[in-house]
Amino acid sequence: MNPSEARMDPQQNPKIIAVSVQSAAEAVSRALAAADEPACTHVYLRKFEAQARAAAQASDLARAAGSPRLPLAGLPVSIKDLFDVAGHPCTGGSRSMADATPAGADCTAVARLRAAGAALIGHTNLSEFAFSGVGTNPHHGTPANPASPKGQPLIPGGSTSGGAVSVAAGGVFAALGSDTGGSIRIPAALQGLVGFKNTQRLTPLDGTIPLSTTLDTACAITRNVADAILVHGILSARVPRMSPRPLAALRFAVPRTLMLDQLDPSVAAAFDRVLRTLHDAGAAVQEIELACLGHMGQLHSQGGFAAAESWAWHRARLATRAQDYDPRVALRIRRGESMSAADYIDLHLARRRWIGDVTREIESFDALLSPTVPMQAPAIAPLLASDDAFFEVNLRLLRNPAVVNMLDGCALSLPCHNPGDLPIGLMVWGPAMADDGVLAASLAIEAALAGAH
């Protein structure tokens, strides 16, 4: 795809960057201006204005000189505050890292975006240290979901909260984020965006603040599937091998266990519409039990990899700066303190067996389909006021997407709501290294859903 023809419709949102009719400098100026508008309140923790303008100028000069066009030539991109950007501190959205020194170099994921011509706009807000699917942050404020009704701010979803809003509010082409248990797909689902979580090993994690070294994945949020494919190719330094097939040639599984539990009526209705649309287009859609998904609770019974591995990273800092942590985050990190080395090794072994069990049951399908999350975005205020409400919503949001991380798989969240309704996400997913098949299937599904409206 030629990024100068990125499918962003200025008629849908006048703030969205129509790169094909602008210089890169103009696109970056609009992105920086959008970062200061009310829709982006609490979105950016720091902006990289000088670097962004320099990248735009370089892009415009190269274009004027007739140089080969880079894949992201001058396109504005936001960066989650977990990734090192040369010349700027990286703080994980936490007050406990307020004294962090500027990074001496870009992490690999950022370096690849920059080398592809991206203009980096700034570090975006997140759930502190990426430890929540809700997206609230007591230190820097919580960005409101752009889909919120007037006067009722809804959660953005997390942990890539600010990154998703930077895309949904029309300021940037893509947002670099991370996904440990759904942190790309949850905010994408709640904001009507596309979030692709690739197989973890395909994108480097050096130069990032970890949550779980076993599960963390560097990936991105975009507005459509074609753009997700473009950005994934850059982050993974590979050319996705797309083999487009009509829906009539695809076979999808719909797991009943866990993934369809306690769906909000609006989500259940939207998911049923998707399945009918795909069936009518000739796709084979088969419900399967996939009972081994019922073992997820047991795998996470002691806090899972996130608790154990975050405790290893945070224990020294918590010993001296616990008062600077979000208490809800510190509580979950401390669950790892009681996990023994034997427990941790047993968890890895149990995961390996579980992955084998799941993979054997799904290997005959092109992809699996599930609601990304079982609910639409709730209001922010009740979740700030009540720990019980917060943890209940957080658990529900993480339930479906976390399956894919435990599977070491890949997944894409795709908007599937009716126009004018609050966003709802469809998750298209598969096992490790099924990325290209999931992306190709998502392209076909996206087209079918667009034709159904």
The catalytic residue positions are 80, 159, 183
Q: How many CA atoms lie within 13 A of 418 on its CB side?
A: 8
Residue 51 and residue 304: Cα distance in Å, rounded?
A: 39
Residue 190 and residue 157: Cα distance in Å, rounded?
A: 6
Phi, psi at 52, each rounded to 5° = -65, -45
Helix axes 24-35, 49-64, angle to 10 degrees: 160
Cross-sheet strand order for the sheet of 251-255: 44-47, 119-124, 76-80, 174-178, 218-222, 194-197, 410-415, 425-430, 367-371, 251-255, 284-288
Amino acid at 42: H
The tokens for 28 are: 């970056």
Maximum Cα interatomic distance, the chain, rounded to a whole number of Å: 61
- For the chain, state the CA radius of gyration: 21
**SS3 of 105, please?**
coil
Residue 229 and residue 117: Cα distance in Å, rounded?
A: 16
- 392: which residues sit within 8 A by CB, 6+ positions away? none
